[in-house]
Amino acid sequence: MRVGAAAVAAAASMLAELGLIALGTQVGLPKVLVWIPAAVGLVVALLICRHTARTVDGPLSAFWRRLSLAVTGMLTAAISQAIDVLTLPNTGVPPVSYRTMLIYIIASAVAATATVRLPAGRRTWRQRATAVLDVAVVALAAGMAGSEYLGWFGRHLAGEPAAERLNIAVLAITTAGVVIVLKAMMTRTNPMPWPALWFLSPIALAAPLSVLLIEVLRPWPYLNGSAAVLPAAGLMCSLSARLTSRSPLPADPQLSYRRGTVVPLLASALAGALIVTVYAKTGHVGGMLVSGAATMLVLVAVRQAFALADNTILLNAVTHHAEHDELTGLYNRRHLAAAITDRTGPRTVAQIDLIGFRSVNESLGTTAGDKLLTAFAARITEVAGSAAVVARVGGDEFGLLLPGPAGLAPLDRLLALGREPLHVDGQEVLIDVAVGVADGGDAEAGDLYRRAGIALRAAMAGVGPTVVRYDAALEQQVTRRSQMAADLRRALAEGEFHLLYQPIVALPDGRISSVEALIRWTRADGRVVSPAEFIPVAEDTGAITDLGAWVLETACAQAAAWQRRHGGAAPRVGVNVSARQLLDPRLPATVAAVLDRYGLRPDGLTVEVTETAVFGGGHALATVAALSAQGITIALDDFGTGHSSLGLLRTCPVDIIKVDKSFVDGLGGSPQQEAIVTALAGIAATMRLDLVAEGVETEAQARRLVELGYRLAQGFYFARPMPATEIDAMIEQADSRQAA
């Protein structure tokens, strides 16, 4: 049965029961009739309890399994009581057998056990003391009410065996209901949603209400107080199950606990109302009620004192949380900004970024990344000193407020410590830092943090040393970079970019083997913008993604045209792919779509990546592996200038190594200068990798490369980057020479 339908059916059974009670006061009814809605309500509750037990897990499932046993017991007791009504004589009180009483008691014990075995969660000693006082207030209020109830029972129903047995059953059910209330109050965190547990507590009131109805319904012996309240118990179970199914976890355990503190206040109010009622009816108040009320006042006063202290601690915790970073325990951006504004006199603000943290986080995992941040936070706190304000202001960004203009000494120490490894999960991790610094007096308080951010961006972009101090010229430079970023987007939309192709030739004959696509920017006014100027800006701003997509599209279209025109003589085209592009999981699918669109075979494309881009592994390395699996050639560009070059040859699916120009420049010098170039030739031969020497500018370099076993080279000595039409001409000339 679906949860919503079950709740509707339970509500309908309760309304039917109320309708029969109202009808029975006007006309006679069969004795068994009022028990039918009661049984239906409990059957519905049983079905929904069993359904809920199957849809939740852990302690919550166990609770609903036990509660379904309790409801089964209640249903059995209701059927037994209906049989009693039909078979036993009515002596003024509806008959209740010992069998029925015993079943009610067992069912109540099972319900109480199910509730007690729910997890309660941890709490402080002050929270435990407050909860105990809350329980004492409720228990005292229940005792006062129970005393008055038993007094009423003794005056009206004492001496009637059926009523005595029913009263014992009622006390058992009420006790189970009180246990539910006390459990809800004592529990700080609970797998049971807070409203769902409290929806079961009115069952404690339904039981004594059934006894009170005995007296009310005496004139109509075919009506029964137990039958009148049982559908309500079924409805409460159904509503509780519905809330559990819709929200298996409380949204806010702390809020759930504090809502429970309303119950002792409500209990105190009800106890006061009881005293007023008793006095209004009898003209006096018994000693038990008076002593109970006095004790309750003391308990409530002590409880409020504990609650006030607990609230103070909670307020301090909230204040601490509002000003501190949860992971590292450092101050957060909000506190740092306030401290910069509040502190008077000369001061220095620094922003620090961990260079390459994303790669470390991807390769070692987020847990290790968190530990790295925590370790770095401890280091920077130690270095900065007690007079500094240290904050974590972003993912891998930190902020410092240092006293006085001479505050750079801690930064120098921090850079020195940056060369020492951090220990994370048994591994030593080296992490570089970039630092932006701004000094200022009182008039610049609101601007210092922004200036430090500008200096940090310059440090990360490589504009100057690792530590960059703000000045007006720097801001102008950053402004120009921002303008260039905007111009990049516009230029791409207006078609100001074009590609040149630099041949990679076979040695020693100089025949074109492949070409590398190189992007160039000529503005509408005719001014040429150097790639060294706009590529770093594109990388920094993210525009490199759109730029790289355009290069891929244009180069593949040209490569397909060469394949159609020159057949087997067509050169393979190399395209540089940035580190940011490799982090895009859609890149392999994008490349495949472009190849398919132009009918270009995968072996007609080379994807060139740098060592730094794939050093950290993670998504970047997975993207390269996916591209290689499609049959695309992978080239490792600028080899020897990045991280752990030789290790990458084992982990990265490389087909071509492109030896950086800085090593080629050493050819013809001492044996030490040629050592790396010579060693790489042997490594490539052993691993069956193609080897391309970049930056060849002289005949002597080309001749020496041939002597060392190199068969592919690229550089100005052979050809400068040129338009596609000139590549066509070179291919046709080579074909003509071969034909001749």
In tens, the pLDDT along 289-325 reads 667 666 766 666 666 666 666 666 666 666 667 788 8
Q: Give the ranges where 407-529 is alpha helix by DSSP (H).
A: 408-417, 448-460, 472-494
pLDDT at 250 exceeding the cut of 50: no
Structure tokens given for 622 = 């997975």
**Residues 667, 674 contacting (CB under 8 angstroms):** yes
* Neighbouring residues of 618: CB distance < 8 A, sequence distance ≥ 6: 359, 362, 363
Starting from the edge strand earliest in sequence, which strands make up the sheet with 347-355, in order?
A: 389-392, 397-403, 347-355, 432-440, 467-469
Structure tokens given for 540 = 């920094």
Fold type of domain 496-739: TIM Barrel (3.20.20)
pLDDT tens-digit map of 332-349: 888 888 888 877 777 888
**Residues 438, 455 contacting (CB under 8 angstroms):** yes
Does a cis peptide bond (omega within 30 degrees of 0) precede residue 508? yes
pLDDT at 575 exceeding the cut of 90: yes
Antiparallel, parallel or unpaired: β 512-522 and 528-529: antiparallel
Phi, psi values for residue 471, rounded to 5°: -150, 170
The CATH number for 333-470, chosen from 3.30.70.20, 3.40.190.10, 3.30.70.270, 2.60.40.420, is 3.30.70.270
Residue 37's Cβ-count burial label (10 Å; 0-12, 13-18, 19+) is buried
Position 464 confidence tier, pLDDT thresholds 50, 70, 90: very low
Antiparallel, parallel or unpaired: β 633-639 and 656-659: parallel
Most confident of 35-39, 206-210, 617-621: 35-39
Position 248 confidence tier, pLDDT thresholds 50, 70, 90: very low
Give me the pLDDT at residue 443, please: 46
Position 249 confidence tier, pLDDT thresholds 50, 70, 90: very low
d(CA 259, CA 254): 9
Report residue 105 CA to chain centroid gap: 47
Give me the pLDDT at residue 585, please: 83
Name the β-bridge partners of 401. Answer: 349, 389
d(CA 608, CA 635): 5
Nearest to 13 by CA among 45, 49, 40, 48: 40
Average pLDDT, the chain: 79
pLDDT at 712 exceeding the cut of 70: yes
Neighbours of 447 (CB within 10 A): 14
pLDDT, mean of residues 352-364: 75
**Residues 143, 78 contacting (CB under 8 angstroms):** no
Report residue 202 CA to chain centroid gap: 38
Position 233 confidence tier, pLDDT thresholds 50, 70, 90: confident
DSSP for 152-167, written as a single string: HHHHHTTT-HHHHHHH
pLDDT, mean of residues 465-485: 79
Position 242 confidence tier, pLDDT thresholds 50, 70, 90: confident
Lowest average pLDDT, out of 203-207, 387-391, 405-409, 600-604, goes to 405-409
Most confident of 102-111, 170-179, 258-267, 309-318: 102-111
Neighbours of 158 (CB within 10 A): 11
Helix (H, G, I), strand (E, B) or coil at 694: coil
State which amino acid sits at residue 118.
Answer: L
Instruction: Report the percentage of the chain scoring pLDDT > 90.
Output: 20
Name the more confident of 634 and 186.
634
What pTM, to 2 d.p., does this model score?
A: 0.52
Helix (H, G, I), strand (E, B) or coil at 500: strand
With residue 658 as reference, give the H or E element that holds it: strand 656-659
Position 232 confidence tier, pLDDT thresholds 50, 70, 90: confident
Angle CA(299)–CA(301)–CA(307) in degrees, nearest 5? Answer: 100
How many Cα neighbours within 13 Å face the side chain of 354? 29
Name the β-bridge partners of 656. Answer: 635, 690
Give me the pLDDT at residue 254, please: 43
* Neighbouring residues of 281: CB distance < 8 A, sequence distance ≥ 6: none
Which residue do the tokens 């075919």 mark? 222
Structure tokens given for 607 = 């994807």
User: What are the C-alpha distances in Å from 242 to residues 16, 34, 388?
Assistant: 21, 26, 54
pLDDT at 475 exceeding the cut of 50: yes
d(CA 336, CA 242): 47
pLDDT, mean of residues 118-137: 64
